[in-house]
Amino acid sequence: MLRVRDVHKSFGPTPVLKGVSLEVAAGEVTCVIGPSGSGKSTLLRCVNHLEKIDAGVVELDGELVGYRESAGKLHELPDRAIARQRAEIGMVFQNFNLFGHMTVLENLVEAPVGVRGLSKSDATGRAREMLELVGLQGREDSYPRQLSGGQQQRIAIARALAMRPKLVLFDEPTSALDPELVGEVLTVMKDLAARGLTMVVVTHEMGFAREAADSVVFLDEGQVVERGTPSAVLGAPREPRTREFLERVL
């Protein structure tokens, strides 16, 4: 579903991604782990073309993201085409990023109506289904501030799912939560993984990675240092840098 090949990205003179490759099959969960500053968020932002890559390719479901190829050259797509591609890639952020002036229901119907062109009533029906999926049916009329952080993040997940994306990217979805609220969000994410959602999850929750990931990627200084099954990478890491990192976080 997702193919990232030899992606390079610098900010000014500073290289942040130095040839990152990653493949995620449909229905699979990939966890990306690594130290702060290693380029994890940048990688996710490159996947949905929020950052323009300097070299390499990102493909979603066989289609280049952000570019079209013509006569062997890449041309950046017009904004409208990029927006259409982004609709296929859900994103869940550390800080929820819900629209604070909108109710839960309004948060969930906005993009399906505005971007996908669903009717208000179809979008409302779909929103209710998504709320049920994250265990928050009945909260349609609440405002984000009336919900706990864990509930807000579950709403943010429901909002991403309401677009029926091909892929959902999670950037440290539980890092901003009080410890007692982490579990409810991870439970929802494990449920989605079990239902076959294709996910890339940047996380420090090694328990989640061990249970839910098909594959774990260790990123350090803008490079994939090690990848494999959770039991291989987390249980028997081969690279000293992976071992060092895991000793610090476990």
Residues in touch with Mg ion (CB under 5 A): 40-41
Assess contact for 168 and 197: CB atoms under 8 A: yes
Stretch that binds ligand ADP, among 39-47, 83-91, 181-189, 225-233 (CB under 6 A): 39-47
Q: Which one of residues 38, 107, 153, 174 is an interface residue with ligand ADP (CB under 6 A)?
A: 38
- At 17, the amino acid letter reads L
Is residue 174 part of the contact set for ligand ADP (CB under 6 A)?
no
Q: Is 39 in the site for ligand ADP (CB under 6 A)?
A: yes
Among 24, 31, 42, 212, which residue sits at the site for ligand ADP (rule: CB under 6 A)? 42
DSSP state of 145: G
Q: Select the span of 29-37, 88-96, 187-195, 231-239 touching ligand ADP (CB under 6 A).
A: 29-37
In DSSP terms, which residues pair with 92 in a beta bridge?
170
Report in angstroms how near the CB of residue 139 gets to ligand ADP at its nearest.
30
Select the binding partner of residue 144 from ligand ADP, Mg ion, none (C-beta < 5 to 8 A, by kind). none
Residues 247, 106: Cα–Cα separation, whole Å = 44
Q: Does 182 bind ligand ADP (CB under 6 A)?
A: no
Distance of alpha carbon 184 from alpha carbon 177, whole angstroms: 11
Q: Which residue is nearest to Mg ion (CB)?
A: 41
Smallest gap from residue 198 Cβ to ligand ADP (A): 21
Residue 239 tokens, joined: 């690279």
Residues near 68 by beta carbon (within 8 Å), at least 6 away in sequence: 74, 75, 77, 81
Residue 152 touches which member of ligand ADP, Mg ion, none, C-beta under 5-8 Å by kind: none
- 104/115 Cα distance (integer angstroms): 18
Instruction: Give strand pairing partners of 17.
Output: 9
